[in-house]
Amino acid sequence: MCFDASVCFQLELFLCNFFDLTDFWPLLFSFSLYVILVVATGGYECPMHSVPYQVSLRAGGHYCSGSLISSQWVLSAGQCATSWPKVCLGEHSFDVDEGTEECIYSEKTFLHPDFNIDTMDNSIVLFKLSRPATLNSYVKTVSLPSLCPVANEDCMQSGWGKALSNGTYYPSNLQCRRQPIVDDAICRNLITTVPEVTENMVCAGSVHGDGNDCPADAGGPLVCNNELQGVVSISVDCLNGNPTLYTRVCRYVSWISSIMSSN
């Protein structure tokens, strides 16, 4: 089931452009339930190249976002796992060749072993690039968190996707929005359409029903005080004012470091 024709089209491109996805077929069957490219109702276009760690994951076309955490590693959401996505960095507009872009294929995919597509728990994946990215003013890494986020901490969400609440406009330029961290107890009370809000998840956004934006593309970053605190997991009725649900990155720093150091 797809929720939007453009999402279905991206999914078809995604399936047709990969021929060895044996390890990830369970994800593909559930892919359209979670990878809904929506963003920034009430947000704004990011200043050009102000989010240099933002990554576009592509399989025929853009299907997920991610974050560059070292010159050769990208962090994204579990439902974005594929064998060899093209990873594009230094991107702002999909419609303009700005001369700042660099696209590199991933050579290895490391999906968290406890990822559950039904509950979205442990929704996190690492991609190792086939070669290091060239770091410059347009392509930079974002730091992993030293501590977990706290309620009301101000954060930045970014991505490409729907820019109108009626879902009629997909901007080609990167979109941003400020979002505060939501208290865990409030998050659990508000998010009732997923089986459980676990300690591996964190909410950010409005809790007052005042036109909250939907999440950036699945896998996209939530950055607080220059640290990557969230990876977009799922939107839960966000247009009616519910917050966005993220994977809580601080819970996975040891796993991330272990994968990177051993590979």
Q: How many residues does the chain have?
A: 263
- pLDDT tens digits, 85-128: 999 999 999 999 999 999 999 999 999 999 999 999 999 999 99
Q: How high is the pLDDT of residue 240?
A: 59
Q: How high is the pLDDT of residue 241?
A: 64
pTM of the full structure? 0.83
Q: How high is the pLDDT of residue 170?
A: 64
Please give the CATH topology (third level) of the domain spanning 5-34+52-141+253-262: Thrombin, subunit H (2.40.10)
Q: Which CATH number fits domain 154-251: 3.40.30.10, 2.40.10.10, 3.30.70.330, 3.40.50.1370?
A: 2.40.10.10
- Show the low-confidence residues of the chain (pLDDT under 70): 1-42, 161-170, 193, 208-216, 235-241
**String of DSSP letters for the chain:** --SSHHHHHHHHHHHHT-S--GGGHHHHHHHHHH---B--TT-EEPPTTS-TTEEEEESSSEEEEEEEEETTEEEE-GGG--SS-EEEES-SBSS---S--EEEEEEEEEE-TT--TTT-TT--EEEEESS----SSSS---BPPSS---TT-EEEEEE-SB-STTS----SB-EEEEEEBPPHHHHHHH--SSS---TTEEEES-SS-S-PPPPPSTT-EEEETTEEEEEEEEESSGGGTPPEEEEEGGGGHHHHHHHHHH-
* Domain span(s) for CATH 2.40.10.10 in the chain: 5-34+52-141+253-262, 154-251
Q: Rounded to whole angstroms, how far apart are CA atoms 257 and 141?
A: 15
